[in-house]
Amino acid sequence: MEYLNEKRDLLKLASKSTPHCSNLLEKTKIENLSGEKKSFLFLAVKTNIKYLKEFILSSDSELSYIKYIKNIDSYMNFLRRENRNFFSHQSDMISSVLPEMFCQIFEKKKKALGLKEINVSGQEDLKIDFQIKSSSDEPLSFKSKRVDVCIYKKAEMTFNGKKHKIIIPLISIENKVNLDKNMLYGIINTSSSIKNIFPGSKYYVYTEFSDLTLDKHNYGYSDIDEVFTLRKQNRGSFRKTKNANPIDYSLITDALTIFENMFSSNSNNFLSIEERMQKFGKLIIK
């Protein structure tokens, strides 16, 4: 009975902004799920739901965010310790956790700031390029790229009398368990494509571990705004010791500050010149 209750909770919680809940829900549908594998999955479901519900009901305070991040860190350690090859790494058992965490903290901050026109979503497809075809029923053809987490505004674009729904990314986030050179080059290409169409957007990469030789490469030329290594640990160290450093929660709470500053700055742009003069004593606010 308790297992069925948890599964019902998953059904209610599963959405694009809760990719880990969606992942767990799909795993509960596996036929012949039994024994230790079923027990592990049930405990994972129960723990994730507990931490998620606690955070949703908590206040918009720094302590609430820190507690949630620490709970998620503890949950990820549990997944690594207890999985015992029940689910392969291709099943996204661990890699779907961070995107859900980022979606939830941005969703809470968005509501606290009263930003009704802003949306937060996981696994969102961004239109990063398009082609115009002269002989086609659909002359406008879009190329899309999926990002792990996106904070965006909805918009419409009209071409040849037809409306196309698009989203304007404000902050895009790529989440990785481990980041190596080949992955980073792909991400650099993505960031460049996004910035070509949305030059004012921010693009961040958050990885648990790093597998980069930074003394031989400089990635400052790219359109990535920053690469954060949440555990401040390289993959070799983790593989050798099997111990993951704790997540540095300040690297995540700093993202909330960036988010808040972005919209307080944007709100200034909607003021008239006279209102800006009276409020700030400035006529041009960058």
145-159, pLDDT tens digit by residue? 999 999 999 999 888
Supply the pLDDT for residue 189. Answer: 92
Supply the pLDDT for residue 128. Answer: 86
Q: In percent, how much of the chain has pLDDT > 90?
A: 57
Higher pLDDT, 277 or 162: 162
Higher pLDDT, 31 or 179: 179
Supply the pLDDT for residue 216. Answer: 60
Given a cut of 70, whether residue 283 has pLDDT beyond it is no
Query: Of the spans 1-15, 142-156, 255-269, which averages the highest pLDDT?
Result: 142-156
* Residue 230, token pair as written in the block: 């949440």
Given a cut of 80, whether residue 136 has pLDDT beyond it is no
Determine the Cα–Cα distance for residues 22 and 5; give it in Å rounded to an integer.
16
| Averaged pLDDT for residues 24-33 | 85
Given a cut of 70, whether residue 100 has pLDDT beyond it is yes
102-120 per-position pLDDT tens digit: 999 999 999 999 999 999 9
Supply the pLDDT for residue 272. Answer: 62
pLDDT band at 3; cut points 50, 70, 90: low
pLDDT band at 276; cut points 50, 70, 90: low
Supply the pLDDT for residue 31. Answer: 73
Given a cut of 90, whether residue 43 has pLDDT beyond it is yes
| Averaged pLDDT for residues 65-87 | 94
| Averaged pLDDT for residues 219-238 | 89
Higher pLDDT, 276 or 1: 276
DSSP per residue over the chain, as a string? -HHHHHHHHHHHH-STT-HHHHHHHHHHT-TT--HHHHHHHHHHHHHHHHHHHHHHHS-SSHHHHHHHHHHHHHHHHHHHHH-TTSS-GGGTTTTTHHHHHHHHHHHHHHHHTT-TT-EEEEEEEEEEEEEE-SSSSS-EEEEEEEEEEEEEEEEEEEETTEEEEEEEEEEEEEEEEEEEHHHHHHHHHHHHHHHHH-TT-EEEEEEEEEE--TTT---TTSS-SEEEEEEEEEHHHHHHH--PPPP-THHHHHHHHHHHHHHHHHHHTTS-HHHHHHHHS-S---
Which of 45-59, 170-184, 220-234, 270-284 is the least confident region? Answer: 270-284
The amino acid that residue 79 corresponds to is L
Higher pLDDT, 120 or 90: 120
Q: Report the DSSP pairing between strands 140-159 and 119-132.
A: antiparallel
Supply the pLDDT for residue 133. Answer: 81
Q: Residue 180 burial (CB < 10 Å; 0-12/13-18/19+)?
A: middle
Given a cut of 80, whether residue 64 has pLDDT beyond it is yes
